[in-house]
Structure 1
Amino acid sequence: MAAAATLSLSLSFDPQQNHHQHKTTLSLCTLSPFIFPTKHSLFSINKSYHYPYRSFLSPTLCSSSSRTTSTTATTSSLLEDSFRAGRFFTNEEIEKLKNLENFVHFQELKSGFLWVRVMRPEEMDCTVVLLAESFSESMLLPSGYEKLLRFLVKQYLIERRAVIPHAVTLIGFYRGNEESESGKEVHLAGTVEVCFDERGANASPPTPAAPKNSPYICNMTVKKSLRRRGIGWHLLKASEELISHMSSLKEVYLHCRMIDAAPFNMYRKAGYNIVKTDSILILLMLQRRKHLMCKKLPIVDSPSESDMSGTDEELCS
């Protein structure tokens, strides 16, 4: 499966507007490894945990289909990075930034281990590569469009970072079991975007449009070589877990193309139901028909109460 959400891209530059008003609209249907938990760690299967990720050693990992480059970079906190941009934050927004900074979803899979957390600025280029490859694969575009796609995706991610903490990009890291060939390597496994409220909503959302004030999940994809391991399922669960902590609204929306059978089955298994479907007239705009799907999240007292059941094969993505 190339992507678990709707793929659509539009770029609009209005010469009558100033630079700060330019908008790149991109809805794509994801780095740093850290010290790996030992056999004596307290992590147990089918549980997720929250703890400050700054407690981990975190050099930057950048990977592409042709090479993997590992360098050590100085990382800054989400708060420091946001304040450096010169934005003003309310007390409520500062608290939300702290929650995002401390969010880490850990999951032990049959084939290895998965971590999901907020993307950092130094990890943007790696995430751009993954999203551009997913978009190209889904749309069957020739390789000559790769540079243009990366440019558009990067502009989109830069603009989306400006709305934190109202929306955020999560990235997942995967490490195989020690007995596997890649057991000693940490890979960028996938990414997903989560919008929490109207201020974080995309200016040009896909159709059928979801309520702008409701949480929304989009741009989810899993690295091609790491699919069918349950990673997509747990990117979805990490998104829901974060929404439960960041939003008082529990109705979560997402889009799924009608032709994407595997993502659709995953969403249905996760409890999402079809709310509305694109009109057949959308085909005249050279777009795929999409379902708008919704799920009402349960109220839980702790992250461990969320539904994590299912085998790797059943939850494959």
Structure 2
Amino acid sequence: MAALPALVSLTPAVSRHSYLLFSRCPSPRPRHLRLILPAAAAPSPGGSPGPGVFLSPRALSQLDELAAFRYEHAFPHGLLTVRALTRGPEDDAVAEALVRLLASSFSETVRWAPAQRYAQLLTFVIRRYLHERRGLAPHAAVLVGFYRPADAAADSTGDDGDEGGEDGEGKDEGEMACTAEVSFNAVGAPGAPPTPTPPLDFPYICNMTVKTALRRRGLGKQLLKACEDLVIKMDARRCVYLHCRVIDQVPFNIYRKAGYNIVQTDSILVWLSLQKRKYLMSKELPQASAVSESTTKDFDDNILTC
């Protein structure tokens, strides 16, 4: 993988994004409150339950919208289905498979660390991170894409039943192929987003990656469109932000072709913290009535990261 996603980049001593381990996003304080326990509401290893998230009636409606969200795109070679990772225990196996997908994706560009130890560290950090992000719905969502080849999609209509496969990949959904994260407001925004810092009360897309074996098939393009479609359905603000490293020309070209423009560029001083310079990019999404009429040029989905 030529580009490093935004979730984590570890130096020998410390993660560059400390919020992965230590941040606590503030809870909203609407007038009408209802306490919703996060997905991992089971007691933590220390024995204390995870914190609840207070949701207003509007947020509860958004939670239903998020649970019902499905984005499908049929390719000549197969079918991509994108949905949100839920809070409930029924998605725990999917979450574990997602941890492995992200850890594998992020470790591809690392050369300084022993592979096995680094993978173990990544797995621990990402598992903790997903534990927190699942509990922030509907203010943030982790999207998971499943891919079924054309021949497998035809076979699924047979007598194989609905039994789930290994690694959280059910036969009805297919192979876990890609993932992305979307925050919709300041409550769901990362506690310490990368620089240049995006406005926290606007939608923000990050941690987007496609499984290595499934790249160059158009999945990344459709995953990005699924993120934008979800932002519209959640009635969030229409200006969406994301990051792209300056050295990653392929992802940069992908975002530009999708309609994203540079808002700000990192200072050269970020090199002092062993980070790569990044672009902050944004796009104004169309109104809901115009979404079905909008078109996007085809482009190469070798890597789609931010």
Q: TM-score, normalised by structure 2?
A: 0.75
Query: Where in structure 2 are the equivalents of 1:138-157 lying within 5 Å?
Result: 138-140=109-111, 141-144=113-116, 145-157=118-130
Aligned to 1:314: 300
Quote the Cα distance in structure 2 between the aligned partners of 1:118 and 1:3. 24
Query: How far apart are the structure 1 equivalents of 2:139 and 2:282?
Result: 19
Q: Give the whole-Å Cα distance in 2 for the aligned partners of 1:24 and 1:188.
A: 29
Spell out the pairing of 1:6-45 with structure 2 (5 A cutoff): 6-9=6-9, 10=15, 22-23=22-23
Aligned partner of 2:147 in structure 1 is 174
Q: Is the 8 A contact 2:36 2:55 kept in 1?
A: no
Inter-partner Cα distance in structure 2 for 1:281 and 1:137: 26
Q: 1:61 — aligned with what? A: none
Matched, 1:88 2:54: yes
Distance 1:12 1:24 in 2: 11
Aligned to 1:280: 268
Contact preservation (8 Å) 1:3, 1:134: no
Cα distance in structure 1, aligned partners of 2:286 and 2:187: 24
Letter in 2 for 1:160: R
For 2:155 and 2:37, locate their aligned partners in 1 and report how far apart those are by CA, in whole Å: 33
One-letter code aligned to 2:187: R
SS in 2 for 1:210: coil
Equivalent position amino acid for 1:232 in 2: G
Once residues 37 and 74 of structure 2 are traced to their aligned partners in structure 1, the CA distance between those partners, rounded to angstroms, is 30
Matches within 5 A, 1:69-108: 82=38, 85=41, 86-108=52-74
Helix, strand or coil for the counterpart of 2:289? coil
The equivalent of 1:111 in structure 2 is 77
TM-score normalised by the chain length of structure 1:
0.72
Correspondence for 2:242 among 235, 241, 254: 254
Cα distance in structure 2, aligned partners of 1:285 and 1:232:
30
Deviations 1:180-231 (A, max 9, x none): 9x98772100100000001111111101110111100000011001011111
Query: Aligned equivalents of 2:289 and 2:213: distance in 1?
Result: 36
Distance 2:80 2:39 in 1: 30
The 3 A distance-change label for structure 1 pair 306 and 154 is: farther
Secondary structure at 2:151 match in 1: coil
TM-aligned CA distance change 1:113 to 1:316, over 3 Å: farther
Q: Distance in 2 between matches of 1:306 and 1:81?
A: 38
Structure 1 residues 302 and 289 mapped into 2: Cα distance closer, same or farther (>3 Å)? same
Structure 1 letter corresponding to 2:179: T
Aligned equivalents of 1:190, 1:214: Cα separation in 2: 23
1:134 and 2:120 equivalent?
no
Q: Secondary structure of 2:54's match?
A: coil
Which letter maps to 1:132?
A: A
| RMSD over aligned Cα atoms | 2.9
Aligned residues: 254
| 2:283 is aligned with 1:295 | yes
Task: Among all aligned residue pairs of Structure 1 and Structure 2, give the percentage whose two residues are the same amino acid.
Answer: 45
Shift of 1:247: 3.3
Unaligned regions of 5+ residues in structure 2, if any?
A: 10-14, 26-34, 42-51, 157-170
